[in-house]
Structure 1
Amino acid sequence: MRVLVTGLGRRRSRTVSGGLAILGFEVRETDADADPQVAADVVLLDCGVIDNEVLAYCRRLRRRTQAPIIAVTQRVDLQAWLRGHEAGIDDYAVQPFGLQELAARLRLAVAPGRDQPAPVPAGPPRRLTAGPLVVSEDARAVTVHGTRIDLRPKEYQLLVVLMRQLGRAVPREELVAQLWPAGWEGAERSLEVHVASLRAKIALPGLISTVRGVGYRMVTPESFHRLSAA
């Protein structure tokens, strides 16, 4: 597996690079801004903290590669996770961590089918509606009040799973099992991030509700109309 270790000209950990090489990874270190080639299966972004400079750098990097990006950081809260997600970061390795843990995250990041459409409840593609939100499954198109919105693959998968079960509180464990590879340690937090991002993009307050201690529910059209009229 080809791993590109990059950052913002900051001193990167040669211990990590050397350790990954010993474990059999093909490691290359570079400043991605100075290197026109981003030929890698996964990118390890050594950034310390998630700030505006890192986010801008990540956006530039994302425009040049579709490889998963894992950010090595000292800390990350939900807001930083959300901002990083929008900039193109797929996962985080929060220091301190073991080399074997990092290697497992790298392998999971490129696991076959990770970004492919996830299994959803049985049934043919169809037109799903919840208030002004419409999903045309055959065209993989999502509109709100007739305006198309762009969703990342995992956001779309999450939306379809919830909309196919309108009114049901879907357990977090069930969503994680359907949408993330088995054993991925960051799945619970990633689910929170994708729900928050999805809510922000569809901009329909109350449509996706949190059911405390259970998971998430997409309200029925009738319930949404009552919420809107309240």
Structure 2
Amino acid sequence: MKYQLIPVTPFQQNCSLIWCEQTLKAAVVDPGGDVERILAEAASNNVQIEQILLTHGHIDHVGGAAALAKQLNIEIVGPHIADSFWLESLPKQSQHFGFAHSDPLSPTRYLQDGDEVKVGNQSLSVLHCPGHTPGHVVFYSKNDAIAWVGDVLFKGSVGRTDFPQSNHQDLIDSITTKLWPLGKQVQFVPGHGPLSTFGEERVHNPFVADQLFS
């Protein structure tokens, strides 16, 4: 699995273009906006976008999804149905955060824990990781030991839990019981900021380092 980070929106959210090297079939993870830039990156890498994958329903992650899906006539997949209220509230979110107007969004299908998503010949496992939002999911490539974690975990920090239906303990549980078992070697792409590994965060992250729970 290859990928290209594409920071989008004023929030500099890490949208990812990911693709299978064998088939050049691609997916876009969390297209928060700047659709033309996403399309330009796909063209420069000579890949065909076939689907959109959403980790959760916040506007900086989904604001460009409908426009991209309409332009390319492709499916929007995810997040978990527990985030449907966030997708329905996109008009209010866009106004509150100063984004261009966004209509309510209905994905082609919602995801559940244990689902699998195919990108060309590659497979991504779906982990339901509530806390930041109730329907947040993570996409994990076992073959490449990399995970797209949205706003669950960051280098040196974790996702905010001061939103409606957020829950701090659920977030910590998602990280320690869903992500850590994948292995310390796993690299992760967060929704914002630099990449890191689970092993690095288990040593240095002040919110979820192993020494906090020993």
TM-score higher than 0.5 here?
no
Q: Which has the larger radius of gyration?
A: 1
Pick the structure with more helix per residue.
1
State TM-score, norm by structure 2. Answer: 0.28
